């Protein structure tokens, strides 16, 4: 079985985000970039499936500007076997990404597709479900545990009321939650090996995909600064502040 995973290029989670002076977007100049943390979990899970004998090959896909190949090489160093890079400029929205991934699924015929449940830049949580709908595949989102049994994916997933375990037939789309696993670190020998692993390149036009944006971002603003908190000595003082300053109780 072949596993297809994604590696989106995002601002490193430890970097403080800055908004451009014209409020048109996030300032990416001289900012450290990384693989989306939820995609790192997807890559780790795919490699574990191969190591357990449930899969034979792990293929990683990244979509975007030329520098996205850095994230492909990172995924290859973490254990993926080969990469696919789709070069596309501009604002790639979830539907466009899902369409590109659907074209890749048609080419590669993977048995399972594992994506992060969301990217930490847009936080949309849309690409996985959209891909499943476009490709006509079963799906299991927010996975915190995954096993392959008798041609099915058995997934424990987090829901509002707690946890549920479902079984979906393969091929299927799985999106990862934080509790699924703890991603490994790339060793130096694996980083060197990753440089020799094959990476195929495409454009959306070659895949027959229209990536024109459906939405327009009008303005990006940083959140308002919060007022400093205060420490109260007594319950009476707390109630007085809630009544007279916060006005949340009467």
**Confidence (pLDDT) at 227:** 78
Nearest to 39 by CA among 62, 21, 15, 23: 62
167-190 per-position pLDDT tens digit: 999 999 999 999 999 999 999 999
**Confidence (pLDDT) at 5:** 97
**Confidence (pLDDT) at 250:** 67
Assigned CATH for 2-244: 3.40.50.620
Extended strands (E) in 88-159: 112-116, 138-149, 152-159
How far is 220 from 120, CA to CA, in rounded Å? Answer: 16
Residue 241, CA distances (Å) to 125, 224, 225, 228, 234 in order = 39, 22, 20, 14, 11
pTM value?
0.85
Residues of the chain with pLDDT under 50: none
- 3-state SS class at 88: coil
Average model confidence (pLDDT) for the chain? 91
Q: For the chain, which residues make up each domain, given as ranges?
A: 2-244
- The neighbouring-strand residues paired with 149 are 152
């Amino acid at each position: 079985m072949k596993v297809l995973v994604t590696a989106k290029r995002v601002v490193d989670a430890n970097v403080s985000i800055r908004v451009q002076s014209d409020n048109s977007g996030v300032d990416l100049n001289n900012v450290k970039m990384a693989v989306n943390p939820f995609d790192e979990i997807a890559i780790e899970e795919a490699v574990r499936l191969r190591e357990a004998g449930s899969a034979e090959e792990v293929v990683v896909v990244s979509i975007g500007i030329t520098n996205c190949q850095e994230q492909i090489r990172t995924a290859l160093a973490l254990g993926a076997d080969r990469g696919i890079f789709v070069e596309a400029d501009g604002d790639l929205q979830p539907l466009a990404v899902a369409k590109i991934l659907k074209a890749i699924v048609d080419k590669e015929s993977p048995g399972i597709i594992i994506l992060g449940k969301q990217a930490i830049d847009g936080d949309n949580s849309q690409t996985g479900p959209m891909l499943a709908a476009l490709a006509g595949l079963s799906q299991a989102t927010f996975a915190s545990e995954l096993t392959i049994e008798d041609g099915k994916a058995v997934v424990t997933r987090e829901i509002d009321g707690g946890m549920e375990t479902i079984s979906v037939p393969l091929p299927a789309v799985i999106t990862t939650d934080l509790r699924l696993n703890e991603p490994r670190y790339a060793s130096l020998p694996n980083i060197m090996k990753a440089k020799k692993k094959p990476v195929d390149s495409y454009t959306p036009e070659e895949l027959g995909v229209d990536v024109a944006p459906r939405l327009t971002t009008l303005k990006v603003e940083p959140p308002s600064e919060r007022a400093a908190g205060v420490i109260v000595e007594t319950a009476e003082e707390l109630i007085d502040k809630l009544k007279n300053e916060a006005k949340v109780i009467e």
